[in-house]
Structure 1
Amino acid sequence: MSWLKNYFSKMRGGGNSSPHPIHWRNALCSWLGGFIGIGLLGWLGTYTDFTEQDGTFIIGSFGATAVLLYGSPSAPFSQPRYVLGGHIIGALVGVTCAKYVVAPLWLLAALAVSVSIVLMYLTKTTHPPGGATALTAIIGSHKIHELGYWYVLHPVIESLILLLLIALLINNLSPLRRYPHYWY
């Protein structure tokens, strides 16, 4: 019975408040990075033959990556190794499942995300939006499926290079920030 009490006591949390200080310069850099990063991807997407719904330069997981890169650039999951590794692994796993596994959509989705999690963990590249990149390869439109493994290069790697470049330029504008903390 004491193990059950101990188990539920963990859910109370360990601290009294959030340890993150708020400063207007950081908020401005976060806004600027998010606006330029996602705006650039959206603008580049208008020059492809895909529809806006396909959004080949913008996939949903990049919104979460933008929050990490520009809103929490010091977080481990925001460092380039994790950003690149997590998305690339997620994209590769998602495309592989979509191409070679015959199963209902719900099972493909669960398989792609869970295998991505394990591979990211084992390679020390856990980036939570990478699971959404795997999921997008499964639930994406017919045009996304037609890309096959090209999905890994375009939109994933191309877009990530742009987002990381913006993160390098914008995050280092503030004297209170430094990005990245490490590359590998």
Structure 2
Amino acid sequence: MSKAPPRSSWNVITAATAAAVIGLVALVAVGKATGQVLLIPPLAASAALVYGAPALPLAQPRSVVGGQLLSAVTGFVVLAVAGSSVWSAAVAGGLALGVMMIARTPHSPAAATAVIVAATAPDVLVFLPLLALASVILVAVGVAASRVKAQAAYPAYWW
């Protein structure tokens, strides 16, 4: 017998999937409207947590927004110290975990954001506000989706 958790109901699966599509399409729409890229791979993973596992600490707004921003800042610090390389990207991803743990903002997808920053060296003044906006959009869609479906309210806590 499998020790895997039971499958969610079709209503929960449908609602989570619809919220994920809406949240990620919203990032693309805002990105197109602003001429910037908001949809980066770690945010798709964030969406999976917010909409698929909304009760987890990793999915709470504090962790989604705080974890993403702290990890990006960690990536920028590593970038400033060590430059852009696969080595510095690996260090940034690892350090991001420690920073998030210290700040009590665990969000595993955010470690990948630190890696992306150190590997690609985006403009900090563009990247950070866009990342904050994208993270808030994902959380807002999560809040809206929880009001529509008959599930436990998201978020479990804000801060």
TM-score by length of 2: 0.90
CA RMSD of aligned residues (A): 1.9
Say whether 1:148 aligns with 2:124. Answer: yes
Deviations 1:81-126 (A, max 9, x none): 111111011111112222x123561221122111111010111111
1:91 corresponds in structure 2 to: 72
The 3-state SS of whatever aligns with 2:104 is coil
| Distance 1:182-1:101 versus aligned 2 partners, 3 A rule | same
> How far apart, in 1, do the equivalents of 2:125 and 2:95 lie?
17
The 3-state SS of whatever aligns with 2:33 is coil
Say whether 1:114 aligns with 2:91. Answer: no
| Distance 1:171-1:161 versus aligned 2 partners, 3 A rule | same
Aligned counterpart for 2:105 among listed residues 125, 128, 135:
125
> How far apart, in 1, do the equivalents of 2:6 and 2:72 lie?
32
Name stretches of at least 5 consecutive residues in structure 2 with no aligned partner: none
Which one has a bigger Cα radius of gyration? 1
TM-score by length of 1: 0.79
2:81 corresponds in structure 1 to: 101
Write out the 4+ residue segments of structure 1 that deviate beyond 3 Å after TM superposition: none
Name stretches of at least 5 consecutive residues in structure 1 with no aligned partner: 1-14, 51-55
Identity %, equivalent residues: 25
> How far apart, in 2, do the equivalents of 1:62 and 1:104 lie?
21
> How far apart, in 2, do the equivalents of 1:76 and 1:40 lie?
24
| Structure number having the greater helix percentage | 2
1:24 corresponds in structure 2 to: 10
| Distance 1:153-1:20 versus aligned 2 partners, 3 A rule | farther
- Count, aligned residues: 159
| Distance 1:25-1:150 versus aligned 2 partners, 3 A rule | same
Say whether 1:182 aligns with 2:145. Answer: no
